[in-house]
Structure 1
Amino acid sequence: MQVKTSSDLTTVLAGFHALSDPIRLNILDLLRSQELCVCELCEQLDLAQSKLSFHLKILKEAGLLMSRQERRWIYYRLNLAQFIVLEQYLADFRRYASLLPARPCPDLED
């Protein structure tokens, strides 16, 4: 996925920013296999709801989470489509790896 518009760039930047915090990575790990409500996330992460809400907001704004409300609880789950966008962005670097210079790097020589 080549970044073609400022909207694409904003999406990629928001995604990687959201992934740059250990608490947010822990949240994603917990949601990897199941949908959880805020109260369950608070308990499993041992976080105050206000702190958790801050991190959930960043993940949701980055498009990495989706939510639904059931009565008074909000349930969160991963938005796998957004993870695919970030994965495709990184895959573009791997695809062009053969274009790297062939000359040796002086710092790596014995």
Structure 2
Amino acid sequence: LWINPTPGQTESAAGATNATGTGAAPTSTAGIFIRQGGNADLGTGNIQLDEIRIGTTWASVTPAGTAGVNESVIAGLKVYPNPATDIVTVSADRKIENITVIDMSGKKVQSFKADKQMI
């Protein structure tokens, strides 16, 4: 379990310590309990947690970069049907030169060259 010690700030460098009392890292997480103890004289207080991540290694709780999407505006662009299974139709007001299909992980699935308004 890793909790960002400075809410709203960037994550700290890897310097995790093992709190299990052994030299070996735990291989699983059975449960997480977060308890806030109130004090009748001081009020109930609050707890602020930022970015709770669970993993067995530092790398598993430190995300790699994500694929970005650059929006482009193409006049009259139509892509249908949505959702699609085998066939997708792409049309635009002007000639389509290239189409690249990218999956949700950012991997290029297919590229097409064209010289039409509809593919």
For the criterion TM > 0.5, the same-fold answer is no
Question: Greater strand percent: which structure?
Answer: 2
Could you tell me the TM-score, scaled by structure 2's length?
0.24
Q: Which has the higher helix share?
A: 1
The higher radius of gyration belongs to: 2
Q: Calculate the TM-score normalised by the size of structure 1.
A: 0.25
